[in-house]
Amino acid sequence: MHYRIQSGDTMSSVAAKFNVSLAALEAANPRIVNPNVIYVNELVHVPASSAPTHQPSPVPAHVVTYVVQAGDTMGAIAAAHNLSLAALEAANPQVANPNSISAGEVLNIRGGATSVPPVSQAGAMSIGAVTYGRYNGGGGVSSWTSQACGIMSVPSANWIRGYEVLCARESSGNANAINSYDSNANGSIQSDGYPLNCSRGVAQCIPGTFASNHVAKTSADIYDPVANIAASMRYVMNRYGVASNGSDLASLVQQADPNRPPRGY
The reply to whether 148 falls in a domain is yes
In tens, the pLDDT along 81-132 reads 667 888 888 888 888 888 888 877 777 776 544 333 333 334 888 888 899 9
The reply to whether 221 falls in a domain is yes
CB atoms within 10 A of CB 217: 15
Question: Are 146 and 173 within one domain?
Answer: yes
Q: Give the 3-state secondary structure of the chain.
A: CEEECCCCCCHHHHHHHCCCCHHHHHHCCCCCCCCCCCCCCCEEECCCCCCCCCCCCCCCCCEEEEECCCCCCHHHHHHHCCCCHHHHHHCCCCCCCCCCCCCCCEEEEECCCCCCCCECCCCCCCHHHCECCCCCCCCCHHHHHHHHHHHHCCCCHHHHHHHHHHHHHHHCCCCCCEECCCCCCCCCECCCCCECCCEECCCCECHHHHHHCCCCCCECECCCHHHHHHHHHHHHHHHHCCCCCCCCHHHHCHHHCCCCCCCCC
Write down the pTM of the prediction: 0.59
Provide the pLDDT for residue 64.
Answer: 60
Provide the pLDDT for residue 157.
Answer: 93
**Number of domains forming the structure of the chain:** 3
Which domain range does residue 35 map to?
Answer: 2-45
Question: Are 97 and 192 within one domain?
Answer: no
Question: Are 147 and 226 within one domain?
Answer: yes
Provide the pLDDT for residue 215.
Answer: 93
Which CATH number do you get for residue 77? 3.10.350.10
Question: Are 166 and 239 within one domain?
Answer: yes
Question: Are 67 and 41 within one domain?
Answer: no
The reply to whether 265 falls in a domain is no
The reply to whether 157 falls in a domain is yes
Provide the pLDDT for residue 111.
Answer: 57
Provide the pLDDT for residue 106.
Answer: 77
The reply to whether 35 falls in a domain is yes
Question: Are 250 and 147 within one domain?
Answer: yes
Instruction: Extract the residue ranges of the chain whose pLDDT is less than 70.
Output: 1, 41, 49-67, 70, 80-82, 110-122
In tens, the pLDDT along 192-216 reads 999 998 999 999 999 989 998 899 9
